[in-house]
Amino acid sequence: MIEERQHVFYITTAHTSYWFRVTAHGQLEHLYYGPRLTPQDPTAVAFKHTSGLGSTVAYDEQDWTYSLDTLPQEYASFGRGDFRDSPLILKMADGSYVSDFVYQEHHIYSGVAPSKTLPQATDQPDTGSQTLYVTLRDKLQAITLELAYTVLPDSDVITRRVVLHNNTAKPLVIDRIMSAQWDMPNRGYALHSFAGAWASEMQHHVQPVTDGTIVLNSLTGGSSNKQNPGFLLSAAEATEDTGWAYGVNLLYSGNHESRIQHTNQNFVRLMTGINSQGFHWSVAPGEAFETPSAALTFSDRGLNGVSQHFHKFINDNVVPPAFQHQDRPIVYNNWEATYFNFNEDKLFALAQQAKDLGVELFVIDDGWFGTRDDDTQGLGDYTVNARKFPHGLPAFVQRVHGLGLKVGLWFEPEMVNENSDLYRAHPEWAVHVPGRAPVLGRHQLVLDLTQPAVQDYIVQQVSHVIDTTGIDYVKWDMNRHITDMYSPALADNAEFNHRYILGLYAVLRRIFRPRPQVLLETCSSGGNRFDLGMLTFGPQIWSSDDTDPIERLTIQQGLSYLYPQSAISAHVSASPNQQTLRVVPLSTRGNVASFGVLGYEMDLNALTDADRAEIREQTAFYKQYRHLLQFGTFTRHPAAQPQQFRWQVQAGDTAIAGFFQQHISAAHGYDCLPVTGLAPETMYTMASKPQRIMLSQYAGLLDHLPAAQGRTSIPDAQEHYTGTGALLATGVMLNNQFMLSGYSDQVRMLGDYGSTLYVIQPEQE
């Protein structure tokens, strides 16, 4: 809900309020972002203007306490007395960089702020979303900034973006234009950011917000595995569950930049948007530039509160409408089972087994097309490899459909190998600077998505395969960072990176909007482009090429701060793991992957009968609780030990609590697994998910385990407790022998990365 009274703007969400006002001099003064308040006289929360001493520059000599440098602002101009980092740097037609934007008018409309080129939050019609447009005009030049604030019903996320209009007779150049900026008093904030690399995405870093500016950014051409665009701030007193915390993210998949600046007035300035490094944009007379949308949220329920707001926003308003709250199928993907070495018989045998194990969607990964027998060739040629599929792809898809499985295919449409028919026909489509040999990554070059002809080719190729095969799912991969940013079509190649992303969005829109039933899973060497922009096209993202569940605990927990379980594609793979050689029980592999969109990615021919029995139990359990696991309210419980992870999902009166360990100590004590969100007086049962230990992994120990001799697996005895919600919240004491009552000590010492899941439900009468 958005109201305006006497030039004070009151934005109210389900649990938060965001206020700002027009000052007597026309700037927008940020007043408050915190727990929901009834709109009222804002004087109590307004910053007192007390400056005017020493070197301070007064914006108006008649009003010496009014300095832009100490004013908490909504979107600061440049060069008129605010010496903090600026969200906007413009080169004006007169050659100056000075801007001075003041309030001109505002309007409040129903609905979201539409965009033809950039991802937006979506809303069902007539649900009460509103957008406030505040127009600022430069005092000298006919340039306006339209600041848009959108509130979605029942959501605690506010989206912001800016549209600049050049109404002068001359072109102007944008050097920086952020999507959102605001200033707040410092409450001892810590910054939570998510950095990493290939196969170690989303590592959670915490640092104090102290003097200076912290810059979080990407220059890879994508949102990147190096630095996710999303971040959180927690006030000094905040924990996972309590205290003030803020979250910021961007609906954008390209180079991004966020600046978190602590200023000498003990304020914090936040801004986020397109990365200004290597970026310029010329705006011709009469034209406009639109920024991506930023997503902001606040919670007084700590970091979990912020995460839950983002999860709800993504499930309700970001992913394509056809997949909002729709259960996602259990995938089998052949990549780690076969790599490029497969044919239709081999795949069909895998599909038959996958079906028997409870899988619902069979995905053929890289290698089905052109001469793609390894990663040096074939990218760009999406015609089926007739040696691998002598009966053609439509016939194979039909056969697998006949098993009762959905079918998916892998593509990497943004890339080309030099050894491909496409490159031989169109070398000019590969991104390079004339005269400079382009840098290769994974033996491939980037296609120039700024060119309409390239966009048309990709749309035609991918659409044709989808339509002629009848596939249900597409995995859209992108396996290198972008270099040699240049397109002959562009007058200014500082526009390349943003135009590439606009080209990507145009292609995705043209392929998938007319085919809303096709489930799109995006991927970029794992989680190299895990962002809100991609989620507007495909509701789930392959999170990491690291499928080791022990490392995945860190990656998935990092993702959980910003993205819901329904977005996190997670597969059970072979043990020893192919990236780390770590041996992990199938139970733990399944338990970790169950806190995302579950899949399997292993050679099914290598499974023992006991493995098969366990996988059937896993898929049955997952299907029974799938909606809860994918869409339930997710909570991180703080770890008592750094190697432990405690996750919970809850919906209505049912919860699943997961307890995971990355390392097990031989002399482990007791642990506490709190379960929150339950009715304090209601009696619940809490039952461990039945799981088994595969003795093949512990062959050397069989002599010490007489009860196990002659068996290949031991079903774990199911643990069972009853108690009120209050008792379960207080803590259930677990000995970490819970997985293996009776046998555990010896097995544990061999490196059993223990985990278990508990289902908590009201006791039946």
Residues binding ligand DGJ (CB under 6 A): 335, 365-366, 410, 477, 479, 523, 525-526, 542, 545
Q: Name the residue with the smallest CB distance to ligand DGJ.
A: 366
692 contacts 715 by C-beta, under 8 angstroms? yes
Tokens 């394509």 locate to 320
Residue nearer to ligand DGJ on the CB measure, 42 or 526: 526
Phi, psi of 637 (to 5 degrees): -95, 135
The CA angle 167-170-172, to the nearest 5 degrees, is 85
Nearest to 238 by CA among 181, 187, 163: 187
15 contacts 7 by C-beta, under 8 angstroms? no
Residue nearer to ligand DGJ on the CB measure, 332 or 645: 332
Length of the chain, in residues: 765
Residue nearer to ligand DGJ on the CB measure, 137 or 481: 481
Nearest to 594 by CA among 310, 204, 330: 330
Q: How far is the CA of 414 from the CAs of 459, 480, 500, 507, 703, in angstroms?
A: 11, 10, 10, 10, 56
Least Å distance, CB 547 to ligand DGJ, is: 9
Residue nearer to ligand DGJ on the CB measure, 82 or 365: 365
Q: What SS3 state is found at 306?
A: helix
Q: What SS3 state is found at 310?
A: helix
Nearest to 521 by CA among 331, 352, 379: 331
Give the contacts of 496 (CB within 8 A, at least 6 positions apart). Answer: 450, 485, 486, 487, 490
Please give the DSSP secondary-structure letter assigned to residue 170: S
Residue nearer to ligand DGJ on the CB measure, 568 or 610: 568
Residue nearer to ligand DGJ on the CB measure, 337 or 550: 337
Least Å distance, CB 104 to ligand DGJ, is: 48
Q: How far is the CA of 147 from the CAs of 75, 103, 135, 294, 636, in angstroms?
A: 9, 10, 6, 12, 35
Query: CA-to-CA distance for 294 and 594, rounded, in angstroms?
Result: 30
- Residue 745 known to be catalytic: no
- Residue 154 known to be catalytic: no
Residue nearer to ligand DGJ on the CB measure, 255 or 479: 479
74 contacts 9 by C-beta, under 8 angstroms? no
Residue nearer to ligand DGJ on the CB measure, 542 or 684: 542
Least Å distance, CB 623 to ligand DGJ, is: 24
Query: CA-to-CA distance for 649 and 257, rounded, in angstroms?
Result: 32
Least Å distance, CB 350 to ligand DGJ, is: 16
- Provide the 10 A C-beta neighbour count for residue 366: 22
Least Å distance, CB 472 to ligand DGJ, is: 18
Amino acid at 334: N
Tokens 């001099």 locate to 25
Extract the runs of DSSP E, i.e. beta strands, from 73-211. Answer: 88-91, 101-110, 130-138, 143-151, 157-166, 172-185, 190-195, 203-208
From 545, 611, 716, 752, the catalytic residue: 545
Give the contacts of 737 (CB within 8 A, at least 6 positions apart). Answer: 744, 745, 748
From 156, 365, 381, 477, the catalytic residue: 477
Rg of the chain taking only CA atoms, in angstroms: 27
Least Å distance, CB 605 to ligand DGJ, is: 20
Least Å distance, CB 319 to ligand DGJ, is: 20
Least Å distance, CB 353 to ligand DGJ, is: 20
Least Å distance, CB 526 to ligand DGJ, is: 5
Residue nearer to ligand DGJ on the CB measure, 202 or 728: 202
Calculate the CA dihedral of residues 688, 664, 596, 635 and round it to 10 degrees: 80
Least Å distance, CB 430 to ligand DGJ, is: 19
Amino acid at 700: G
Q: What SS3 state is found at 517?
A: coil
Residue nearer to ligand DGJ on the CB measure, 16 or 573: 573
Query: CA-to-CA distance for 88 and 145, rounded, in angstroms?
Result: 10
505 contacts 529 by C-beta, under 8 angstroms? no
Q: What positions carry a catalytic annotation?
A: 477, 545
